[in-house]
Structure 1
Amino acid sequence: MTQRVTIRQLDCFVAVAKAGHFTVAAERLALAQPALTATIQKLEAELGVRLFNRSARHVELTEAGRDLLPIAERLLQDLDHTVSDMRGFASGSRGHISVVAAPSAFEAILAPAIEAFVENHPAVRITIRDAGADEVRRHVRSRSADFGLTSRTAEDSSLMFETLTHDHLGLVCGADHPLARLGGQLHWDQLRGYELVGHTLDTSTRQQLQSVPDLGSILTEPKYQVSSVTSLHWMIRSGIRAAVVPALVAALPLLRDLAFRPLAPPLVQRDVGLVFRRDMELSPVAEQLAEECRRVSRKLANDSA
């Protein structure tokens, strides 16, 4: 049965080729010369060619040896790089992370978490996608993302949800809107009679509003429905319309110039957190980024307390 060429044999071959002498190469490898000679002989027997022309004083590469040398050097170098990468992967200093996040979760949690993460992990590559709640789960479920950040919606047996923070709903509108000028908390009944922009059924905000009894069709079946912050901003920028949104959404750059008013009970809030696959353990680097997201969330909670 034919044996495979070993890394040890290639390492010995390169050492002898570079040293031009078995004794010198054996010293550099910390091997006994007979052991080194036997290793080279086994390599030559495996390849079926003579690699060295030997003399009493030195050895020279044969034509076959000269052809093999750059290949052996490249293979050994590639192996060294691979081992280094694997050690870096295991220690969390190297690797690749793919994350998918809802825009509000990205702005409030993931972006500052990445800023802190890359300071200590400059060699780690990160791919970021932004998506709605359902699409976040689809990416995690299909393994195209290591983990996601979004709000809790319907339970999925293949996924785990870890709550990081609670985000309450309120009203966002132009500064000159009549509801913006009212004092104190707004009551849900006060929203009646105004043009409200709602959310499409695939958004977590719409699902949360649907679950609250007695809110009325103006909120659960709105005339205007949007699925993104961009379209929401376009719909309410005139100052005529308003919308019920989570506080983290109201803090996004596109909406920061608008007024945000808290709503009185029934208090409606969403849980925002990490989404993982149940059957897939995070890599060391992905786990460290997830931990950075937890740290940012704890800071947010402390700052708002």
Structure 2
Amino acid sequence: MSFHASLGNLSLKQLRAFVCVAESRSFTSAATLLNLSQSAVSLLVRELESELGLKLLDRTTRSVRMTEAGAELHPVAARVLQDLGAAIAGSRELADRRRGRVRFACSPLQSSLLVPRLIGTFKARYPHITIVLRDTPGGEIIDLVASGEVDLALGVLPADTPFVAAEPLLTDDLLLIHPRSYGWGPRRRPTWKDIAAHPFIALGEHNSTRYLVDYHAAQVGVRLTPACEVAFVWTAIGMVDAGLGLSLIPGHARPIVQKFADVAMQPFEPQRIKRPIALMRHRQRTLSPAAEAFADFLRENFPRHDRRTPAARP
């Protein structure tokens, strides 16, 4: 049996009234359940029958029974109402930030040092929101945001782009690390010429810290020729620990450097060179409620101040 009415002419109220009457076998009971008058329920069912061109219910003074057409329509209408109810409930959960999924990108260093505790605190507040963490080299983060592959990202504040909006969260510094065998005490302030006089371990060309280092070195007429070039900050620290040279790395790597007894560290030109770390998102895309919740959380809880470098160990 086929139904000839246009779906656009049917209403959810009509379907709900029909299903309620069919299941309760009573217009009176259906009216009570729907919080409507009996006449309003009868009108909704008659309108549905008129739209379909079919008799759906046989009414007597004692009972209400579905016709053959009504029995065929009932499971379909009930499923539509059930699916719609589930969809509405799910949408409300999303709107209320009770569940969702956030795709978030940041550098491997931030992924290991800054972000895990933040995610842990966030998950305690929003246990059913999933965080998909992309620990990605800094030079690739902006592309992930611009392409829409991630909702939010943390990275060095970029130049203006047509697709990426950036909100500064933290100002980091550059950290000079060198073998303790150099004998540079905490009161000595190495210069660019000091750095150029020693083997320099550089981060990769697309690393934001590398760009910052090269730019400021060029401003004072110093060209740094890397003795070694590495992709990750951990590798640079390990090479310094092996006595292969010195390096300039992000300041928030201090907790890692502290684990290496043979590596000394100190801020490098902290008053002049800063690394602005920003929260980034796509300019033309609306964040989901879950992503908006995570963005708000980062604004409230991201550490705002640089940590001071501990005094050098003797």
Give the alignment's TM-score, normalised by structure 2. 0.82
1:135 paired residue among 111, 136, 140: 140
1:187 paired residue among 190, 194, 198: 190
- Structure 2: distance between partners of 1:107 and 1:300: 18
- Structure 1: distance between partners of 2:204 and 2:18: 67
Per-residue deviation at 1:110?
Answer: 3.2
Change over 3 Å in CA distance of 1:66–1:186 after alignment to 2: farther
Deviations 1:119-175 (A, max 9, x none): 22222232221222332111111222222100124332432222211111122356x
Change over 3 Å in CA distance of 1:37–1:235 after alignment to 2: same
- Structure 1: distance between partners of 2:211 and 2:296: 28
- Residue 168 of structure 1 corresponds to 173
- Residue 126 of structure 2 corresponds to 121
Per-residue deviation at 1:83?
Answer: 1.9
- Structure 1: distance between partners of 2:77 and 2:238: 62
| Equivalent residues of 1:49, 1:64 under 8 A apart | yes
Change over 3 Å in CA distance of 1:48–1:229 after alignment to 2: farther
- Residue 79 of structure 2 corresponds to 74
- Structure 1: distance between partners of 2:307 and 2:300: 12
- Residue 312 of structure 2 corresponds to none
- Residue 242 of structure 1 corresponds to 246
- Residue 8 of structure 1 corresponds to 13
Change over 3 Å in CA distance of 1:106–1:56 after alignment to 2: same
Residues 1:178 and 2:184 are matched in the alignment: no
- Structure 1: distance between partners of 2:72 and 2:276: 63
- Residue 207 of structure 2 corresponds to 203
- Structure 2: distance between partners of 1:230 and 1:11: 62
| Equivalent residues of 1:116, 1:292 under 8 A apart | no
- Structure 2: distance between partners of 1:62 and 1:172: 84
2:229 paired residue among 219, 225, 229: 225
Per-residue deviation at 1:94?
Answer: 3.1
- For 1:216, give the aligned amino acid: V
1:286 paired residue among 291, 300, 311: 291
Change over 3 Å in CA distance of 1:304–1:68 after alignment to 2: farther
Residues 1:301 and 2:314 are matched in the alignment: no
Match of 1:301, SS state, is coil
| Equivalent residues of 2:173, 2:274 under 8 A apart | yes
- Residue 266 of structure 2 corresponds to 262
The alignment's C-alpha RMSD in Å is 2.8
| Equivalent residues of 1:172, 1:250 under 8 A apart | no
Change over 3 Å in CA distance of 1:34–1:264 after alignment to 2: closer
- Structure 2: distance between partners of 1:108 and 1:292: 17
Change over 3 Å in CA distance of 1:303–1:7 after alignment to 2: farther
| Equivalent residues of 1:148, 1:274 under 8 A apart | yes
| Equivalent residues of 2:26, 2:64 under 8 A apart | yes
- Residue 277 of structure 1 corresponds to 282
Deviations 1:46-79 (A, max 9, x none): 3343332333211223343333333222221222
Per-residue deviation at 1:271?
Answer: 0.9
| Equivalent residues of 1:50, 1:64 under 8 A apart | yes
| Equivalent residues of 2:213, 2:248 under 8 A apart | no
1:29 paired residue among 17, 21, 34: 34
- For 2:246, give the aligned amino acid: A
The count of residues paired between Structure 1 and Structure 2 equals: 297
Per-residue deviation at 1:198?
Answer: 0.4
| Equivalent residues of 1:173, 1:241 under 8 A apart | yes
- Residue 216 of structure 1 corresponds to 222
| Runs (5+) with no aligned partner, structure 2 | 310-314
Give the alignment's TM-score, normalised by structure 1. 0.84
Per-residue deviation at 1:264?
Answer: 4.3
Change over 3 Å in CA distance of 1:264–1:145 after alignment to 2: closer
1:111 paired residue among 92, 111, 116: 116
| Runs (5+) with no aligned partner, structure 1 | none
